Structure 1
Amino acid sequence: MVNILPPHLSGRGKSYIHAYNAIVLAHWRSPLTSASSVIIFVAPDVDALCAARMFAILFKRDDIGYRMIPVSKNEEVMEIVEGLVDNANLDTILLLNMGNILDLPRDDYFGKLGLKVVINVIDSSRPISLTNLFMGGPNGRRVLIWDHEDSVTNLSEEKNAWEVVEVIFEYINLEPELTQISREDSHEDGMKSKRNSTLIDSTRYQDHGVQRRRLFSVIDKYYQEGSWYAQSASTTVYMLATLLKAVDNDLLWLAIIGFTSQYISGRISRKEYDVYQSIYFEEISRLNPKAASSTKDIRPNTELRLTHLRHWSLYDSMLHSNYFASRIEIWKDKGRRRLIGLLAKIGFSISEAKELYLNMDLDLKGSLTQRLLEIAPEYGLTELLYPSFERCHGYQVQSSSAADAAEGLGALLEVDPRIPLDDELYFTSKDRQESTEYGRDAWIDNFWRAYDTLCDMSTIQNSIDLSMTLKRAIVRQGTSIIEKQGIHTMRNYRVVVLSRGQDLSLFSHPGMLRRLIAWLCDVLRYRISGHGVGTLAKKYLYFVVACLCDADGTYSVMGTSFAFDFDTVVKNHLSYKFIDTARKIRAEAEYATFENHVLRLPKSDLQRFLEQLVK
């Protein structure tokens, strides 16, 4: 592995620009200089989507042909790689928001490709596989991890343990099995997934002595510390564009959407968000001087925590905001009356609050923020504002905020067009018919819809309309869960199992499950902090939601660690626990995404999985 760092950290080593120039040179030297020499694998999230679009712009600038492939899980990657083994023209593979946790140099993934193929990994997820970090030889050295910090220097103990374990396996003539879910486990334990990610099951080797147990415990500890997210992929690509002197407002806006999506989805904390927000604030000042303003400017703004306010009514925006919902308890009749009382206190009648914000009286619109701030403490709305950005799209189209764009693009990526929604806002009956015929390709169609929206941001309104429909479904489902007392306490876990209801097919998608968990966590966080539970030594709890997919009789299961303090993010310890639990009960589990904390389990295995998980 080669750790690729920004210039100010790389010293004499390789930086982003060196890695990019190597891609350009390899392409130009290719006999056919065809699109088959560079392939971009893109994960199904907004940040990766933005990073992919940014690379497309840079490659066009440098006359680089490429092929872009959206992939949603490990099995798809393995299938595609099988088809690339005989591609003699292939020089470069780019992995966007995927790859860090996979053992990329192994034959299960890219190890079987010709040694001239260089694997560039730009992935915001952490931790990074120890195999990717420390495997030497031609196969290991061709894996380039684009990092924002030195991930190797402080891992000397883990490096020594990993190297010794590698030697042990070679010595006893065993296939490196540094995983709890490998090919052998797939056969032995019934696991369908073939992910190799150097996660050691130390209990299987306890008979080999204290020294070996210590080595395995060192590696185990590395992964058990949990998963988290670092610098967004789009920010990394923007830094590259800055080094290439290729930045403009289009690239800047894509980077802003990408890193904003991390914040609004709870992947980074407010403290981390503020660091990058200040950097982009300076970039906006540099690229958008007031003396030369245009209809496509990017402007800093102060954003209210009100969902799609520019495109909705004030009432609906408050009703469907996670932040407002948790504090006003909108799932109760009393909470709805409290919301009406809040509107009255800031001088809005119900009719005024329910008309589109776009059509609202200018005086009311102009004084809204100040009026809300005056009564905010009374309702616990102490973090009502955060700094953000918006962009103009010309005279004919309404400007959009970074949060609106990120939410809308996320909605496009997360909804299967075969699923009927209450509001027919985006997908036509023809879309649904074609998606049914192509099956798995439905989400790929969604990917390209979202990508096309990035190419023409004036069409973002369609995706925002879809996002508002999803917000209604989330509030509807969340309210139902609370009313039916569907949040069950199992030791340090809060568990919800969805097995019936009109929106089951919608929430079986990992993206929608994540949105529902975020809504429930906000509700639970405010309840806990309001009852003094936050004084406990542990500042977080685990939340697990399982949703039945009737079509194949499986459950989509997602888990997260959520902090009691608002705008704080803790490492997700359930990534390792999910893997360990599935192995112990010998569940026929498979990964629904590239994230370890999202599994698909047979209906018959769910109860045993949950019981083992909370032990």
Structure 2
Amino acid sequence: MYVSDLKREFYDVILGKRVLIFVNFDVDAIASCRILQYLLLCDSISYSIIPVQNQNDLISAYKESCEQSNHVILINCGGTLDIVEHLEPTEEKVFFIADSHRPYDVCNIYNDGQVCLLGKSSEKEEIPSYEDIFGNDDDNDETSDHLDGEESDEEVDEEGDEEEIRESKSKRQKLDPAEMVMRRREKRLWHEKRKEILFNYMQFSFYSSSTALLMFELAWKLSRDSNDLLWWAIIGVGEQQLLGKVDSKTSVLDNGKLQSHMIRLAHLSQHGGDSAGTKDALYITHEKDLSLSMYRHWSLLESLKYTPQTASHFHLWTLKGEKKLNEFLAELGLPLSQCRQKYNSMDIELRNDLRSIFQKKVEKYDLEDLIEYSFNSQYGFRPKNSASDFVFALLALLDSAERDKDPADAFHDALECLSNSKMDAVYRGIELAKLQQMAIGKEVHTCLDMGHVINAGPCLYAVIQDGTPDAKYYGHPHSLLMLGQFLLKAHISRARGRGLRARELPLIISSPSATRPSHCLLLGLPPLSLDSPKNLIGKAFEQAAENTQTEITSVFFDSSVIEINSEFRSNFLDSLFSLLE
């Protein structure tokens, strides 16, 4: 059931009790966990944090640790599967789910008391009514009892209890044959309608508003909000926008809420309600900025080269494209010697005027989206960072390319970044993110040169083979998503006249798994022509696996990415293409 009063129906319930927290491997979940962790520490609530990457991890981790607490919190995990069926909890267990994945499982929505969904339902989720899913169960049970009675009498042997047989016959005589036929027909039609309603409800996977924003609003209602908590919420929202998880309407609404909170907290700090003026104070601004990947920590030339938007626009995988970029920089009045230096080493006048310099020419080059509003932060007198810088750093730390690194250690490295005293961890993450972006950019270049993006009719697909250099950088779901989005934009840009057709096709991309040898990840991206990021590939994956009897070894919480054995990939893709036709 949905829980809208987070303070009374959620926080007051766990107050003074030990809680068990399962957290998904994504930036929004980590930011949400950090906010909740702060609130729990304020009230001396004991807790255990357990990171989980997929459904199998969640089930096994719950079985190992379920005895620790009767109150379980699931952050960005668990909402899309029937919790009671999969985890088989005892009656005293209560689950609080804060999950941005949609659609929620209907059993979680209509569970009365044991499963609590934090937040409010929205109309775009199109949740089916209780009557359509469960309403006729009682009638169906009665009908099935009568129908089962007929079969049971046939199975009774000659030595059976005659009195029981007479009783069952007398019960059946209450229904005449015509009525029994009608009930059978009604039951069949109801099940067919129910199956169709559930299919329509579950066929598209998508994301709702950020869970980190939900947790910040809880902190606000508890009067424990601050600039630090707001910045963590901004990072959670920023990840959804950077990876294209939500539509433009949701982005605008979430940014509007964050901006109003930023203004409110700034007003409070000016009137002595905060630690403003100290050397370690956090300042947050919302201003127009260049939407280039980590340009404050890179050279301007490399940032332009490995940002998907500019790389696709100028075709930077070709010599002609590099020449066009140099002409663009010359027209801006930016010397190449300055563009090749790290941002902090550029002339201070150029640095300060960089946005206005780009502003003059973006319309001419059809690059209006290169300048957008962005949230930036600054701790005291340290260099300024944008929310996207933190997102890149956290993603790189989560999808660690180091061999034999425990995923739990990578999770805690990412969690450590969200502390103003651990800026060294952020800068280390940004350095890893730069290596990751370079590897992704080079792989896009290779795929386009070698013609690895193939039109299969109903969709595009690309396969990164085992043994590919730098495959370790995109062997995780988030890094593969960034590679797929970059590759899809670049392919459409290169297609030119054929680009209109390519914009209407989804992309299926596969790469070797970074965690399991001889296995591969498969990820589906919706067509770029759709403004809505709703994705039907997850349902197609499920049906293709059923048709080919392929075992999905890792079921992630985002159904649009799965892991299977590489041996079965060809048959699986053939079945998938036939389904999408």
Name the SS of the counterpart of 2:44 in structure 1.
Answer: coil
Are 1:562 and 2:527 matched, yes or no?
yes
Identity over the aligned pairs, expressed in percent? 23
Matched position secondary structure for 1:390:
strand
- Label 1:274 to 1:150 Cα distance change in 2 as closer, same or farther (>3 A): closer
SS at match of 2:225: coil
Counterpart in the other structure of 2:473: 506
1:162-311 equivalences in 2 (<5 Å): 162-164=134-136, 209-224=188-203, 226-289=204-267, 291=270, 292=276, 294=278, 295-311=281-297
- Supply the distance in 2 between the matched residues of 1:211 and 1:146 (Cα, whole angstroms): 31
- Which residue in 2 is equivalent to 1:184? none
CA distance in 2, matches of 1:348, 1:595: 43
Distance 1:355 1:57, change over 3 A: same
Q: Report the CA distance shift for 1:470/1:159 in structure 2 as closer, same or farther (over 3 A).
A: farther
Question: Which residue does the alignment assign to 1:4?
Answer: 3
> What is the one-letter code of the residue matched to 1:278?
G
> Could you say what secondary structure the match of 1:556 adopts?
strand
Q: Shift of residue 214 of structure 1?
A: 2.2
The structure 2 residue matched to 1:73, chosen from 36, 41, 54, is 54
Q: Which residue of 2 aligns with 1:380?
A: 366
- 1:133-178 CA-to-partner distances (Å, cap 9, x unmatched) read 124xxxx5210001243579953446523454798699869xxxxx
Q: CA 1:351 to 1:217, structure 2 compared with 1: closer, same or farther past 3 Å?
A: same
Gaps of at least 5 residues in structure 1 are 6-13, 28-36, 174-205, 419-431, 436-441
Once the 2 structures are TM-superposed, how far is the Cα of residue 121 of structure 1 from its aligned partner?
A: 0.3
Deviations 1:569-614 (A, max 9, x none): 4201111111111111101222252221211122221111111111
Partner of residue 554 from structure 2, selected from 574, 581, 591: 591
1:44 alignment partner in structure 2? 25
Q: Pick which of 145-154 and 296-305 moved more.
A: 145-154
In the alignment, what sits opposite 1:93? Answer: 72
TM-score normalised by L of structure 2? 0.85
Larger C-alpha radius of gyration, 1 or 2? 2
Compute the displacement of 1:533 (Å): 5.5
CA-to-aligned-CA distance 1:367-401 (integer Å, 9 cap, x gap) = 22222222223322121122121111233x32211
Match of residue 447, structure 1, among 386, 393, 411 = 411
CA 1:452–1:218: 2 relative to 1, 3 Å:
same
Note the alpha carbon deviations across 1:513-532, whole angstroms, 9 max, x for none: 1110121122244456x548
State the Cα deviation string for residues 161-204 of structure 1 (Å, max 9, x = none).
3454798699869xxxxxxxxxxxxxxxxxxxxxxxxxxxxxxx
TM (norm. structure 1) is: 0.81
Q: Are residues 170 and 495 of structure 1, via their aligned partners in 2, closer, same or farther at CA, if it must alter by over 3 Å?
A: farther
Q: Is the 8 A contact 1:390 1:400 kept in 2?
A: yes
**Is the 2:513–2:563 Cα contact (8 Å) retained in structure 1?**
no
| DSSP 3-state at the match of 1:415 | coil
Alignment size in residue pairs: 528
Aligned to 2:334: 348
Q: Which residue does 1:201 correspond to in 2?
A: none
| 2:171 alignment partner in structure 1 | none
Contact 1:73 1:591 in 2 (8 A): yes
Letter matched to residue 3 of structure 2:
I
Q: Does 1:410 align with 2:374?
A: no
Cα deviation 1:20-78 (Å, max 9, x = unaligned): 111115x1xxxxxxxxx311100000000011011110001111010001111111111
Partner of 1:495: 461
Q: CA, structure 1 residues 482+539, in 2 after alignment: closer, same or farther (shift >3 Å)?
A: closer
Q: Deviations over 1:532-589 (max 9, x none)?
A: 855x7x9742111111349632221111213226xx3420111111111111110122
Question: Structure 2 regions of 5+ residues with no counterpart?
Answer: 146-184, 271-275
Check conservation: 1:560, 1:572, Cα contact below 8 A: yes
For residue 268 of structure 1, report the CA deviation from its aligned partner: 1.4
Name the counterpart of 2:311: 325
Q: In structure 2, do the counterparts of structure 1 residues 339 and 454 end up closer, same or farther at CA, with 3 Å as the change threshold?
A: same
Relative to structure 1, is the Cα distance of residues 167 and 67 closer, same or farther in structure 2, using a 3 angstrom cutoff?
farther
Residue 610 and residue 172 in structure 1: after superposition, are their counterparts in 2 closer, same or farther (change >3 A)?
farther
Indicate the residue corresponding to 1:129 in structure 2.
Answer: 105
Residue 152 to residue 364, structure 1, CA distance change in 2 (3 Å): closer
Quick one: distance in 2 between partners of 1:570 and 1:457? 34
Contact 1:591 1:598 in 2 (8 A): no
CA distance in 2, matches of 1:305, 1:271: 19
- Work out the CA distance in 1 between the residues paired with 2:526 and 2:43: 43
Partner of 1:571: 534
The code of the aligned residue for 2:79 comes to N
Alignment-mate amino acid for residue 339 of structure 2: A
Give the aligned partner of residue 432 of structure 2: 466
Partner of 1:425: none
Higher mean C-alpha displacement, 539-548 vs 489-498:
539-548
Q: Does 1:548 align with 2:507?
A: no
